[in-house]
Structure 1
């Protein structure tokens, strides 16, 4: 017994059972025949160019599709390592929470496996990452109005928790603003790295990795 053919959707194909169905099938067949006839006539009129059309259109369509797919992939590359680039104008427009996520994504771009931990009671850590050598990066993020400055109190808090609580090998405070003179001096004395607006620009725009920016050996990113 020959099995019945199935339609693409899984339904069985069956012959017309009524006169109305037979008439509809004949009309559809006639319409399809007319389309095929018109296409053949068009190709015959083109002569030698018909083969160029037949052979050239599919490869051209395939190339267009590949370009479109690659373009969409680039636009979705927000968190793809090595591709993320942010301008300061974009950073300034972020909310504090979005800024923390951006810092996480920049760390991941540099080959640091990072997670966002910022929340109420985060104990002065918004992002924690680990590079391929097992070195722990702890970042406190301070999104400010343009011209805002981070004070010494933030540095005290990071010093008190980065190592003892989070096991940091590298502790850093990142801001789109600046640091007071006392905060910067205190951080230098106690090993807390400062990433101010100028250094953030270099990092966010992809000119330097975080490790290179902080002057520690760059591992896990393959560039810097």
Structure 2
């Protein structure tokens, strides 16, 4: 009996002995982790704070950008409607912005199907649409410096574009002036040539049809002029 009990005691000791080093190693590992965390905690907290701050700054920057873009778009549209933009401000526009301005003025004056098509491969046409009386029109926009002049070759290209698009009326709008040959070409081929002063009047509230009626040039052929007089008196 005594011998059997001794054997059980030895077996129990053999069974328990392997867990002791494991527990010691685990305790040492936990202690080391606590020591490492204590040393690294300020850096971890700092990195987390920087990450949060960066996310907040990015969100604020993105929100400000969206608000500014929305406000800029609203101001452009409101300026077109109210005619508050000055020629000096128009002179600072890019070519694309000037085209958008002209398209907006057309819509303001009751033109329909207005679309900006300026860009590469536009065949010399920047805006297309229909006048209030139903005539189709194409517009070429020249956002030039005030001292420059639109040359006759530009209007010859516009005349070709009118044929290409099958439009009733071709209009050239510039922030500058027209050379004498260009003006003569426009008058002789029914092209509405709107110069800097016309742009100022248009932007200040004058309607596009009234600008086209400044002279006979640009009113289209006799059939279109008769229809215009019948419609608008």
Q: CA deviation at 1:80?
A: 6.6
What is the Cα-based RMSD across aligned positions, in Å?
Answer: 2.8
Instruction: Flag the structure with larger Rg.
Output: 2
The match for 2:120 is 120
Give the Cα–Cα distance (whole angstroms) in 1 for the partners of residues 185 and 192 of structure 2.
10
Q: 1:45-60 to 2 correspondence within 5 Å?
A: none
The match for 1:129 is 129
How many residues were matched structurally?
Answer: 146
Structure 2 residue aligned with 1:210, among 196, 208, 211? 208
Structure 2 residue aligned with 1:76, among 58, 69, 74? 74
Give the Cα–Cα distance (whole angstroms) in 1 for the partners of residues 78 and 109 of structure 2.
10
- Give the structure-2-normalised TM-score: 0.57
Q: CA deviation at 1:90?
A: 1.4
| Over 2 Å off, 4+ runs | 75-84, 131-134
Give the Cα–Cα distance (whole angstroms) in 1 for the partners of residues 154 and 76 of structure 2.
29
Report if aligned partners of 2:80, 2:104 keep a CA contact under 8 Å in 1.
no
Give the Cα–Cα distance (whole angstroms) in 2 for the partners of residues 79 and 173 of structure 1.
22
Q: CA deviation at 1:77?
A: 6.4
Report if aligned partners of 1:79, 1:108 keep a CA contact under 8 Å in 2.
no
Bigger helix share = 2
The match for 2:96 is 97
Give the Cα–Cα distance (whole angstroms) in 2 for the partners of residues 166 and 121 of structure 1.
13
CA gap of 1:212–1:115, structure 2 versus 1, over 3 A, is same
Give the Cα–Cα distance (whole angstroms) in 2 for the partners of residues 123 and 82 of structure 1.
27
Q: CA deviation at 1:130?
A: 1.3
Unaligned runs of 5+ in 1: 1-72
Report if aligned partners of 1:81, 1:108 keep a CA contact under 8 Å in 2.
no
- Give the structure-1-normalised TM-score: 0.59
Give the Cα–Cα distance (whole angstroms) in 2 for the partners of residues 141 and 84 of structure 1.
21
